Homo-oligomer: A and B are copies of this chain.
Amino acid sequence: MTTPAHRIQRGVSLYSYQEEFFLRTMTLEDCVRAAAECGALGIEIIPEQSIPGYPQLTEEFLQTWHGWMAQYGTHPAATDLFLDTKRHPGRWLTLEEQVASVRQDVDIAVRLGAPVVRAIINTPPEVMEAAAPYAEEAGVRLLLEVHAPFHYEHPWVLQHLEVMYRTGSPALGLMPDMGTYVRRFPRVVSDRALRDGAKPELVDLIVSTYDDHGDTHALMDVVNYRGGGPVEFGLARQATHYIWSEPKAMLEHMGLIGHVQAKFYEMTDEGVEYSIPYDEIVPVLIEGGFAGHLSSEYEGNRHVQDAFPVDSVEQVRRQHAMFARLLGETTGEDA
| A104 in contact (CB, < 8 A) | no
Residue pair A224, B92 in contact (C-beta under 8 Å): no
Q: Which residues of A77-92 have CB atoms within 8 Å of chain B's CB atoms?
A: 85, 92
Q: Mark A144-155, 1 if CB is under 8 A from B, else 0.
A: 000001110111
- For A149, A151, A156, which residue has the most chain B Cβ atoms within 10 angstroms? A156
- When A149-B218, A155-B214, A214-B155 are in contact, do A124 and B226 touch as well, CB less than 8 Å? yes
A156 nearest CB neighbor, chain B only: B222
Number of copies: 2
Q: Which residues of A138-167 have CB atoms within 8 Å of chain B's CB atoms?
A: 149-151, 153-156
A124 nearest CB neighbor, chain B only: B225
Chain B residues within 8 Å of A214, by CB: 155
A214 nearest CB neighbor, chain B only: B155
A91 nearest CB neighbor, chain B only: B227
Chain B residues within 8 Å of A156, by CB: 218, 221-222, 225
| A9 in contact (CB, < 8 A) | no
The total of chain A residues at the interface (CB under 8 A) is: 25
Chain B residues within 8 Å of A243, by CB: 217
Q: How far is the CB of A125 from chain B (nearest CB, A)?
A: 10
Q: How far is the CB of A201 from chain B (nearest CB, A)?
A: 12
| A209 in contact (CB, < 8 A) | yes
A217 nearest CB neighbor, chain B only: B149
Residue pair B215, A92 in contact (C-beta under 8 Å): no
Q: Which residues of A201-217 have CB atoms within 8 Å of chain B's CB atoms?
A: 209, 214-215, 217
| A240 in contact (CB, < 8 A) | yes
Seed contacts A121-B221, A122-B224, A217-B240; 19 additional CB < 8 Å A-B pairs: A85-B227, A92-B227, A121-B225, A124-B225, A124-B226, A149-B217, A149-B221, A150-B218, A151-B215, A153-B215, A154-B215, A154-B217, A154-B218, A155-B209, A155-B214, A155-B222, A156-B218, A156-B221, A156-B225
Return 11 A-B CB contacts under 8 Å, by A number: A92-B227, A121-B221, A122-B221, A122-B225, A124-B225, A149-B217, A151-B215, A155-B215, A156-B218, A156-B222, A217-B240
Interface residues in chain A, defined as those with a beta carbon under 8 Å from any beta carbon in chain B: 85, 92, 121-122, 124, 149-151, 153-156, 209, 214-215, 217-218, 221-222, 224-227, 240, 243
